[in-house]
């Protein structure tokens, strides 16, 4: 009995120390100089540009990963092909590489002295120290999120429902939209939410390729660091509070979706444990 | 009912080095209920999938009503397929599962509602229309899968191990219900099973498959009465295999006891006799000893030892009680009808009880 309370207490204490406390600190620091200062920090045009760039990067990399994840899971679950296992292994690669190394890798490829550097500069295309590089870096780092959620699900579910749909007269496209996609939609949703959170919060890889030109190639995460570095503590926490808010919105969204589809979700869960 | 609904000719299918189907030909009559019976790995499910168009043969032809089917996609074949594990759409309610085929055909809403309601009534699940598959029992899922397949008004219904995943009681009920349904709707139906009792009880005709080939086809009585080879005989039920020989019309087991009379030519055979064709008579001086009695409900199975051999006999539990049989009792064994198989696995003749002293033939009736 005592052991149980001790364990629960430990878990809750850990949660409070590492999750709740920082959240409180972020908001209290952000508001330490009052609401007007908070508003001013956020309204700053450079911060506005960082917010905009963060949203842009997420808006491009998340759908790209979504499409990739769906295609990869579709192929892996439905077909036996050469390189199938290699593909499954490679999908995990971004998880095992430090984001900073990933950023450096990109510099080596697309930087001025990189593999494609001379061709790119001859054609006047700038990737490193510009937005395209930051998008590529984010896509690389968030690459596994959707695929990792969806592939095991698709593999576990097999191909029977698709075959059933085919015998019932559905075309390939109808099978995809009415059967394959809805089947994996919960995995897809979690994948997208995780992917989005990571895309907005990514620091290492983006930091290497961004060049940190304040107001131009600055995301919110990078802005927090540079503001903090220049002793604008309150402004740094104001931007950090926005990131925290985004995380909270994501969680609320997920909870709301789960609540709305609770019947179906419960049914699916029960089946899995059965 | 004459003619052919499905004509299958010289079908071959292999997966890599595995020949799953070898030269399979079969004619399915319109409106019949046909069972494909065989052990797992015999190719029966593959055959079903080829008919449905879920797989393509390496060689051979399939025609529906003399109309080539191989050039057609599954959705153009008019085949209702019920999968072994039902493959219900897990994210759709029972209603939407059954409505699926109509929805993809862009059927008007009122018509969809009408047709699905009708099918729900047919499977007696009107009250569960809003449930999801995961909230149903195995038997209910099976019926939903069937209704979903019937929604396209198929000309052929294919069922893959339809009762495989159900417990015994549900199985029996559903079997009767399916037979009844078949009689009402008269759709040409093929089902796959590895359970010979299920195949024989349900089907008009049974096709027995082994190792990618069709061993025998016929009505249950035809097959039981004259199994084409040793495999079929064994598959239809347990039997005692006794190496023996025929000399001047008398069949003797190599162990040294008489089995009966046969008309087969002299030589060595495998004498095969089912447990329910063996009877015992209590006799304190008998050459056989009852080693074990296993009663399972109304049936009892006896293991008998004698002449260095061991055989199994089966009859009603009542008879065990009537004859006051017990483990260790000495008995005489009376052999009924059996089959003689040659070294090549084909039947060479039958044997039956010898004439007794009074000269009348001792007929052994199956007391099951």
Q: Which residues of chain A neighbour B133 with C-beta distances below 8 Å?
A: 267, 271
Q: What is the pLDDT of residue B357?
A: 44
Nearest-CA residue of chain B relative to A179?
B89
Hunting for tokens 């047919």 — which residue is that?
A: B122
Residues A40 and A8 in one domain: no
Same domain? For A148 and A89 the reply is yes
Q: How far apart are CA A93 and CA B85, in angstroms?
A: 36
What's the pLDDT score for residue B364?
47
Name chain A contacts of B103, Cβ cutoff 8 Å: 178
Together in a domain, A155 and A201? yes
**Same domain, yes or no, for A119 and A236?**
yes
Question: How far away is chain B from the Cα of A156, in angstroms, using its nearest Cα?
Answer: 13
Question: Domain range spanning residue A256?
Answer: 35-273
- Within 8 A by CB and 6+ apart from A110, the residues are A116, A117, A120, A127, A128, A133, A136
The CA distance from A15 to B322, in Å, is 76
Q: Can you give the pLDDT at residue A158?
A: 82
Task: Determine the average pLDDT of the residues in B43-64.
Answer: 93
pLDDT under 70 in chain A at which residues?
A: 263-274
Cβ–Cβ under 8 Å, residues B120 and B147: yes
CA distance A47 to A55: 12
Distance CA B227, CA A113 (A): 81
| B159 strand-pairing partners | B82, B191
- B227 SS3 class: coil
Are the beta carbons of B87 and A185 separated by less than 8 Å?
no
Q: What is the pLDDT of residue A63?
A: 94
pLDDT in tens, B108-132: 999 999 999 999 998 889 999 999 9
How far is B338 from B178, CA to CA, in rounded Å? 34
Identify the residue with better confidence: A123 or B213.
B213
CA distance A266 to chain B (A): 9
> So what's the pLDDT on residue B355?
60
Cβ(B272)–Cβ(B251) below 8 Å: no
Residues A42 and A10 in one domain: no
Over 70: is that where the pLDDT of B365 sits?
no
Cβ separation of A179 and B151 shorter than 8 Å? no
pLDDT averaged over chain B? 89
Read off the pLDDT of residues B276-286 as tens digits, 9 standing for 90 and up: 999 999 998 98
Nearest neighbour of A183 by CB, restricted to B91, B104, B149: B91
Which of A157, A162, A164, A187 best probes binding to B when mutated, by most B CB atoms within 10 angstroms? A164
Distances (CA, A) of A88 to A113, A139, A152, B138, B359: 32, 17, 10, 34, 79
Instruction: Say yes or no: A271 contacts chain B, CB-CB below 8 A.
Output: yes
Based on the fold, state whether residues A14 and A96 are members of the same structural domain. Answer: no
A77 lies in the same domain as A112? yes
- Closest residue in B to A160 (Cα–Cα): B87
The per-residue pLDDT for A270 is 53
The pTM of this model reads 0.77
Q: Do B81 and A271 touch (CB under 8 A)?
A: no
The answer to whether A163 contacts B87, with C-beta atoms less than 8 Å apart, is yes
d(CA B65, CA A63): 49
What is the rounded average pLDDT of the residues B180-187? 89
Give me the helices (H) in B161-297, please: 168-185, 196-202, 220-225, 230-235
Judged by CB atoms closer than 8 Å, whether chains meet at A166 and B101 is answered as no
| Number of structural domains chain A divides into | 2
**Which tens digits make up the pLDDT trace of B296-322?**
888 899 999 999 999 999 988 888 888
Q: Please check whether residue B37 touches A, CB under 8 A.
A: no
pLDDT reported for residue B119 = 94
Q: Which residues are paired to B294 by β-bridges?
A: B301
Given pLDDT bands bounded at 50, 70 and 90, which one contains residue B289? very high
Q: Which residue has the tokens 């085919």?
A: A166
Looking at the predicted structure, is the pLDDT value of residue B358 above 50? Answer: no
pLDDT band for position B368 (cuts 50, 70, 90): very low
Find the residue in B nearest to A268 (Cα): B134
Residue B260 has a CB neighbour count (10 Å cut-off) of: 23
> Are residues B104 and A174, on separate chains, in Cβ contact within 8 Å?
yes
Q: Which of B75, B80, B90 sits opposite A183 (nearest CB)?
A: B90
Q: Is residue B16's pLDDT more than 70?
A: yes
Angstrom distance (rounded) from CA B98 to CA B95: 5
Nearest chain A Cα distance for residue B132, angstroms: 7
**Does B275 lie at the interface with A, CB-CB under 8 angstroms?**
no
CATH number of the CATH domain containing A174: 1.10.3720.10
Q: What is the pLDDT of residue A263?
A: 67
Q: Are the Cβ atoms of B91 and A168 closer than 8 angstroms?
A: no
Q: Is B83 on the interface with A (CB under 8 A)?
A: yes
Are A111 and A230 within one domain? Answer: yes
Give the pLDDT score at B52.
93
Q: Are residues A131 and A7 in the same domain?
A: no
Note whether A219 and A240 are same-domain residues. yes
Please indicate, yes or no, whether residues A151 and A81 belong to a single structural domain of this protein.
Answer: yes
Work out whether strand B67-68 and strand B79-82 pair parallel, antiparallel, or are unpaired: unpaired
- Nearest of B154, B182, B151 to residue B6 by alpha carbon: B154
Write out pLDDT tens, residues A206-253.
Answer: 888 887 777 778 888 888 888 888 888 888 999 999 999 988 888 888
For B31, B44, B51, B367, the CA distances from B195, given in Å and listed in that order, are 22, 13, 21, 23
Q: What is the C-alpha separation between B339 and B271, in angstroms, rounded?
A: 6
Give the residue from B192, B224, B170, B264 showing the smallest Cα distance to B46. B192
Q: For the ranges B40-44, B170-174, B361-365, which has the lowest average pLDDT?
A: B361-365
Question: Chain A window 51-70: which residues touch B at a Cβ cutoff of 8 Å?
Answer: none
Rounded CA separation A235/A227 (Å): 7
Whole-Å CA distances, B262 to B239, B248, B346 = 18, 9, 16
Whether residue A76 is found in the same domain as residue A127: yes
Which of B74, B77, B85, B99 to mutate to probe the A interface, most A CBs <10 Å? B74
pLDDT value at B208 more than 90: yes
């Amino acid at each position: 009995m005592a052991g149980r309370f001790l364990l629960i207490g430990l878990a809750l204490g850990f949660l409070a120390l590492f999750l709740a406390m920082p959240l409180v600190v972020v908001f209290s620091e952000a508001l330490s100089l009052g609401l007007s200062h908070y508003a001013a920090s956020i309204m700053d045009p450079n911060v506005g540009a960082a917010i905009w760039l963060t949203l842009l990067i997420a808006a491009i990399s998340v759908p790209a990963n979504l499409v990739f994840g769906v295609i990869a899971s579709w192929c892996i679950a439905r077909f036996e092909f050469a390189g199938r296992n290699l593909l499954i292994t490679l999908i995990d690669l971004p998880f095992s590489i430090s984001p900073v190394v990933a950023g450096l890798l990109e510099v080596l490829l697309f930087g001025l002295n990189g593999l494609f550097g001379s061709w790119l500069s001859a054609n006047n295309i700038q990737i490193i120290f510009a937005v395209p590089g930051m998008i590529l870096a984010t896509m690389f780092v968030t690459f596994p999120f959707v695929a990792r959620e969806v592939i095991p699900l698709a593999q576990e579910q097999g191909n029977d429902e698709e075959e059933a749909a085919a015998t019932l007269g559905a075309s390939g496209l109808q099978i995809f939209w009415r059967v394959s996609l809805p089947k994996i939609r919960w995995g897809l949703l979690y994948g997208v939410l995780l992917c989005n959170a990571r895309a907005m919060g990514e620091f290492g890889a983006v930091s290497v390729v961004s060049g940190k030109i304040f107001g131009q190639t600055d995301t919110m995460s990078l802005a927090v660091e540079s503001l903090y570095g220049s002793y604008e503590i309150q402004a740094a926490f104001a931007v950090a509070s926005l990131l925290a808010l985004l995380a909270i919105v994501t969680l609320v969204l997920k909870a709301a979706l789960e609540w709305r589809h609770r019947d179906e979700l419960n049914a699916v869960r029960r089946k899995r444990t059965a | 009912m004459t003619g052919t609904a499905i004509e299958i000719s010289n079908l071959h299918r292999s997966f890599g080095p595995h020949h799953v189907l070898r030269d399979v030909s079969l004619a399915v009559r319109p409106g019949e209920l046909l069972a494909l019976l065989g052990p797992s790995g015999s190719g029966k499910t593959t055959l079903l999938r080829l008919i449905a168009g879920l797989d393509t043969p390496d060689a051979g032809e399939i025609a529906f009503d003399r109309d080539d089917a191989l050039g057609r996609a599954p959705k153009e074949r008019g085949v209702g397929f019920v999968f072994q594990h039902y493959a219900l759409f897990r994210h759709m309610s029972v209603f939407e599962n059954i409505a699926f085929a109509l929805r993809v055909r862009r059927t008007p809403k009122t018509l969809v509602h009408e047709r699905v309601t009708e099918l729900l009534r047919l499977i007696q699940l009107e009250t569960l229309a809003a449930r999801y598959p995961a909230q149903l029992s195995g038997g209910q899922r099976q019926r939903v899968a069937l209704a979903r397949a019937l929604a396209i008004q198929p000309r052929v219904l294919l069922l893959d191990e339809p009762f495989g995943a159900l417990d015994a009681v549900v199985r029996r009920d559903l079997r009767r219900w399916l037979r009844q349904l078949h009689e009402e709707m008269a759709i040409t139906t093929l089902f796959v099973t590895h359970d010979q009792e299920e195949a024989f009880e349900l089907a008009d005709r049974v096709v027995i498959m082994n190792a990618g080939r069709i061993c025998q086809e016929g009505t249950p009585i035809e097959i039981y009465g004259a199994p084409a080879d040793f495999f079929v005989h064994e598959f239809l039920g347990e039997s005692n295999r006794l190496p023996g020989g025929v000399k001047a019309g008398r069949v003797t087991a190599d162990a040294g006891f008489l089995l009966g009379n046969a008309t087969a030519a002299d030589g060595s055979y495998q004498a095969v006799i089912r447990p329910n064709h063996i009877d015992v008579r209590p006799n304190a001086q008998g050459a056989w000893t009852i080693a074990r009695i296993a009663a399972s409900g109304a049936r009892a199975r006896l293991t008998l030892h004698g002449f260095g051999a061991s055989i199994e006999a089966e009859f009603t539990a009542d008879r065990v009680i009537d004859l006051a049989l017990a483990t260790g009792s000495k008995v005489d064994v009376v052999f009924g009808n059996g089959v003689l198989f040659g070294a090549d696995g084909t039947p060479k003749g039958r044997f039956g009880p010898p004439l007794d002293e009074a000269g009348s033939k001792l007929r052994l009736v199956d007391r099951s």
